[in-house]
Amino acid sequence: MKLLTTNTELREQIAQWRRNGERIAFVPTMGNLHNGHFRLVDVAKQKADRVIVSIFVNPMQFGKNEDLDKYPRTLEADCKGLTAHGADAVFTPTPDMMYPRGLDVQTFVEVPLLGDLHCGASRAGHFRGVSTIVCKLFNLVQPDIACFGMKDYQQVAIIRQMVSDLSLPIEIVGVTTERAEDGLALSSRNGYLTPEQRAIAPKLYQVLQQLRSTIIAGNHDYRSLEQQTRLELNTLGFTADYINIANQQDLTLATSPEHEKVILAAVSLGKTRLIDNIEI
């Protein structure tokens, strides 16, 4: 596996693959990789001749009081895992490379409406940071395919909308959430949990499964169900940011049973923010 550290190295490698007529898949990450990330690489390998992974902890998507400085950086272990899963190259830019003029004057990409809902309502500027860096990475890598984990359900919807709106010739592949044996969605932030919190964390998915069953059984009083679920999670030891029953098509809050639904959840457990979702 090749380690690419500059835009020039990246472009030269991409150009070589293109000259060979090879199809390229891209997996953007922030590192501290786990089996969920490696599953994205596995899927990417099934769909393309070459797989490139980026590792970049993007400062634009972190709020002032969030964990940018503490976010784990594990490049050596990440590269070993990527090599084992057959990635062809990893691109590791620095903030100075990606934002040479600084964040305050950086051109940005923003997806309205979708980016203002759910996590966007409580993390101002987060999805602007996500869509900007993903768009920039897309321009650098110019992949045919890009793979994203469906744990970040809203993020995938935003990236798909951005690609559609900007007419980018990239297929976005959503990959099913990887979970631990007890149901907890794999996340780099799970490492922040204490042993006691880790024992509680799987209850989030259990509660979402119960809520899904209640809706399937015919209860469509969505706002009441959301409130009851927030209270239940708070009783279990979480601090619920939101539990929203939304339409899959546009992520607006569901008001009737006609459309396919998704339950979106964000909670805190101690100082650790956890997100999860389940489709109906």
Which one of 34, 37, 85, 126 is the catalytic residue? 37
Structure tokens at 147: 């793979």
- Collapse the DSSP code of 123 into the 3-class scheme (helix H, G, I; strand E, B; otherwise coil) and give the result: coil
CA-based Rg of the chain, rounded to a whole angstrom?
Answer: 19
Residues whose CB is less than 8 angstroms from the CB of residue 53 and which lie 6 or more positions away in sequence, other chains included: 26, 27, 28, 29, 37, 41, 82, 87, 89, 90, 91
Q: In this structure, what token pair is assigned to residue 64?
A: 């002032």
**CA–CA distance, 250 with 276 (Å, rounded to integer):** 18
Does residue 85 carry a catalytic annotation?
Answer: no
Return all residues near 236 (Cβ < 8 A) that are at least 6 apart: 200, 203, 207
User: How many residues can be counted in the chain?
Assistant: 280
- Matching residue, tokens 């959503």: 174
Sign of CA dihedral 114, 60, 36, 54: positive
SS3 239: strand
Closest by alpha carbon to 178, among 26, 40, 25? 40
Contact present, 237 and 219 (Cβ < 8 Å): no
CB of 32 closer than 8 Å to CB of 71: yes
Q: Which residues are catalytic?
A: 37
